[in-house]
Structure formats: C-alpha cells, structure tokens
Amino acid sequence: MEFSIKHNTPESARGACQVITVGQARKLSSNGQRVDKACKGFLSSILKSGDMDGRPGQTLLLPSVPGLATQRLLLVGCGKDSDMNERNYTRVINAIVSALANSGARDAEFYPDDIKLKGRDLAWKIRHAALTLGNSGYQFNQLKSGKAERPRGLRKLAFNVARGDAEKARSAIEQASAISAGMSLARDLGNLPANVCTPSHLAKTARQLARGEKRMRVNVLDEADMKRLKMGSLLSVSAGSRQPAKLIVLEYRGAAAKEQPVALVGKGVTFDTGGISLKPGAAMDEMKFDMCGAASVLGTLKAVNQLQLPINVVGIVPATENMPDGQATKPGDIVTSMSGQTIEILNTDAEGRLILCDALTYAGKFKPASVIDIATLTGAAIVALGKVPSAVLGNNRGLIEDLIRCGRQIEDKIWELPLWDEYQDQLKSNFADMANIGGRDAGTITAACFLSRFTKDYKWAHLDIAGTAWKSGEDKGATGRPVPLLTQYILSQVKQ
Ligand code: BES
Ligand code: MN
Ligand code: ZN
C-alpha cells in the first residue's frame, strides 16, 4: 500500500474515489457537506432514501456522481461522535478496504479530520489507518505453486489534511510504513514452515537485513562459540536436533557508542516438539510459530533501521529446534547455565526459558539501558489472558509502565501479571539450584520467575506472546505482534 498527502478541496478532487464519512442519523461530515453542495444535494437525497444511515462500518459506493470530477464517492458510516473509539475507527478503515476490494478503484482520498476520536490526534489517526491498511494487504503465498493472484482493490490512499499538518502527516506515514515493513518480515518468518525457517535461516535473514546498511552489524555465534561461553542451558535444548543452534546478534547503531543500547531478546525455537517430553499431536504444526519472538526482534530492527532512529539497539536471538532424539536432553538432566546457576530439567517442553536464560546473561555484556525479552513462552498465558493482550512481567516499574503506555499508544495491548516473590518457591529443586518448571499453577508467572534469576543486573521486562503472535483456525497465520509495541517503545526512548 502506498500513501500520500493531499490538500485539495473536497469538491475539486479528481481521483478514482473520494471517501466521505457519514455520522449517525445521516449526518454528513463537513467535507461531505461541501461535496453535497457541489453536486446539488445529491448526497442528502441519497441519505434521505434510507440506503445509508451512518452506522459504523456501513458503506455505499456511488459511481459517477453528477457535478463532481471524482470517479466515485464512497460513503462510510461512522456512527455517533460519542461512539467513535479505536475499535470503531479500525472498523471504518477496514470497511473502506472491503468496499473497494471488488471495485475498479485503485486509489482513494480520505479526510482524517472528519473523524473525531477522543484522545487521539491527527497523527495518530493517520498512523493507525496506514498501519491497518498496510497489514490488511499482507499475503503469504511464496510457497503456493499457482500463479499469484493479482491483488485487486485499493493500492494507494491519500490523506487529505490542512497544509499546516503536512509534516505531522508525513512522519505518521513514515512510522506506519516502517512498522508495517517490520511486521511483514515477522509474519513471513512466522508463517514459513520449520523445514525452511531453521535457525540458520533466521541467521541468514539477519545478515540480509544488515547487508549494505551502515548502521547495522551482525554476529552469529555457532555451537562451538556457545560452548566456549558455557551456555549449557541453551545447548541442552539443541542437543537432540540435527539443525545446529545459532545465537544471532544484530546491532543497530544510530547514536554515539557510549549511549547504552536497548536490548531485545527473542525466543527463536523454530520448531517445538516438546523434546523427550513430547507434545500431543493435535495442532502441533503451530509450533512452527515458536520463533515469533525472534521474528519480532528482527522485524523491529528492520523498522528502526528504516526510520534511521538516533538510538542504539541490540537484538539477540537464541535460535534452535526442540527435538526428541538419542542425544536429546532427558527429564531429570541437570545443566549449568552461562550464569553458573544449575538447572534441573524436569520437562524438556519448558525449553524457551532454557535458551532465554543464557541469551539474557549474554545480553548483560552490552551494558543495556533496558532489556526486553519476547517469547511464545507458555500456553498458560492464553489461559490467563486469552488472545487480546500479551502478558508483561518484569523487575522495574518504570519500564513496565512505559511498555503498557506504548502498547496503548499503538494499539498493541499488553497486561501485567504479578512477579511476586511468593511464586519463586514453585521452582525449588531437590538436586539443582532450580527446576525449569513450577507446576500447574500460574505457569506464565513461574516462567517469568525463572527468567528473573538471570536478569538481576539490569532493567528487564518479559513479554509472553503465546496468545498474540499468531492466529489459529481459518485465519491461521502470524500476526506480526509485538513489532508495533517494540517499535513504539524504541521511539519513546529516542532522546529529544
Ligand atoms: N512454546 C510453548 C508454549 C506455547 C504452547 C505457546 C502453546 C503457544 C501455544 C512452550 O515451549 C511450552 O511448551 N511451554 C509449556 C511449559 C510447561 C511444560 C511448563 C506449556 O505451556 O505447556
Ligand atoms: Mn515447549
Ligand atoms: Zn516452546
């Protein structure tokens, strides 16, 4: 999707389609009223006929309206001003896409000032519309042999704003395009099957991202490097796999070397069978999505680089498969993590935390300003919160609150679960410093408790994205979350 900015008057527009909003009780927006005048009351007569009453998301496409140069008008219902909220606004934007999907209109012009949305300014409305549209055009058909369908429908949207708002609009579009590009990358990586998207494929993708980019650098550690670093916990997960594990370090340097980086650590389990604690067969294919944390890290770095933000960011991705095998780690095995702490692996399916703990210890080397790990870590996160927000836990109030605020700002919601000390007792082991599981209760919290033992030296937050990184069922596929949240957080950390 392409976006542009226009300043013409609504009655003089010439393009393929003008989008005119209609409020509750057939109330035309102020731009709508001007257009109505230019076509001598044609719009009001149509609204009187009852074909369109202004309910949110309702649409009516009018070809060749007499007296107007534009080829079409699209009337879109927006409901009462007081009913307009983020969800209804998204509905309105999606309604525009579906109304034009089977029309001949490739481009349209839209007046964001016509929609009043409490607490959201013009830049927000433009950014959110551009992001929604960018996402709605996503397709994944690289592995279908048939000729790709020519995409129909909307390809270009112009935002018509006052001349004085052009700069604001431009930067909103830039942000949306960068975040969209990052989300598309994350979705592609998530959707790729595990026989294609291996740890080596993730490493190759990181190298491709950095190629030719002055501010990016990649370093990929192999298993021998990890052994030297004493990453016994990470290596215990890859032990049963024929695909070699990789620890991918992708750095973006947009600020002076002395500026402490934001570190993003993403779980990159390219397939999670559960290992010797084998998962049941139903829907096991979805465990190809177990690298969506890693994908969101690469996607966010892509967005940050596209925006050329003046900040330092380091992405760290422990990437491995989790497979059963003669060499695989067995329940009861005890390993020593890079931190020196020993872990009794009571369940080989709790592997995410085992790779993250060593990656988090490694992250400390970068003297990070803050560390955020992102992981499809626990099914319990879906039990606790469903598929609406990601779960957030951490060791620093300010960081958690910043993240919650950023999530609200970009509509990529997160919800905090308590990381209280009382839960730590569940990780007790009779034979090692800790066990890797904490029993049935509060699974998302005990997973975070485990990680908290490796993140004491810095400000840290953990995002459990098990419920939000992909959709199941008919719309099965990666969502690209939480690239918007992470990019918004990095935007918020740029020093003015
Ligand atoms: N990748 C899974 C978590 C997961 C499961 C995400 C289902 C999304 C949907 C993770 O590695 C895992 O298997 N976690 C176990 C932990 C348990 C053994 C303590 C889980 O959630 O069952
Ligand atoms: Mn698992
Ligand atoms: Zn997993």
> Does the structure show a pLDDT above 90 at 460?
yes
Q: Give per-residue pLDDT as tens, 88-128.
A: 999 999 999 999 998 999 999 999 999 999 999 999 999 99
Identify the pLDDT of residue 58: 94
Q: Residue 426: which of 406, 449, 451, 397 has the closest Cα?
A: 449
Asked if 209 and 298 count as a contact pair (C-beta separation under 8 A), the reply is: yes
Asked if 302 and 185 count as a contact pair (C-beta separation under 8 A), the reply is: yes
> For residue 189, what pLDDT band results from cuts at 50, 70 and 90?
very high
Q: Give per-residue pLDDT as tens, 476-489.
A: 999 999 999 999 99
**DSSP secondary structure, 387-428, as one string:** TSSEEEEES-HHHHHHHHHHHHHTT--EEE----GGGGGGG-
Identify the pLDDT of residue 147: 77
Ligand 1 binding pocket, CB closer than 6 Å: 272, 290, 347, 349-352, 376-380, 437, 443, 466
> Does the structure show a pLDDT above 80 at 148?
no
Asked if 358 and 451 count as a contact pair (C-beta separation under 8 A), the reply is: no
Half-sphere exposure of 314 (CA within 13 A, CB side): 23
> For residue 15, what pLDDT band results from cuts at 50, 70 and 90?
very high
Q: Give per-residue pLDDT as tens, 27-70.
A: 999 999 999 999 999 999 999 998 888 998 999 999 999 999 99
Q: Which ligand 1 atom lies nearest to the CA of residue 269?
A: 1
Identify the pLDDT of residue 91: 95
Query: Residues lining ligand 3 (ion), CB within 5 A?
Result: 269, 272, 290, 352
Identify the pLDDT of residue 26: 86
| pTM (global) more than 0.75 | yes
Identify the pLDDT of residue 47: 92
Identify the pLDDT of residue 53: 83
Q: Out of 72, 353, 459, 481, pick the active-site residue.
A: 353
Averaged over 300-318, what is the pLDDT?
Answer: 99
Identify the pLDDT of residue 152: 80
Q: Which of 270, 349, 385, 426 to mutate to test the pocket of ligand 1 (most atoms within 8 A of CB)?
A: 349
Task: Provide the 8-state DSSP code for 328.
Answer: S
> For residue 150, what pLDDT band results from cuts at 50, 70 and 90?
confident
Q: How far is the CA of 232 from the centre of ligand 3 (A)?
A: 18
> Does the structure show a pLDDT above 80 at 353?
yes
> Does the structure show a pLDDT above 80 at 446?
yes
pLDDT, mean over the chain: 97
Identify the pLDDT of residue 146: 86
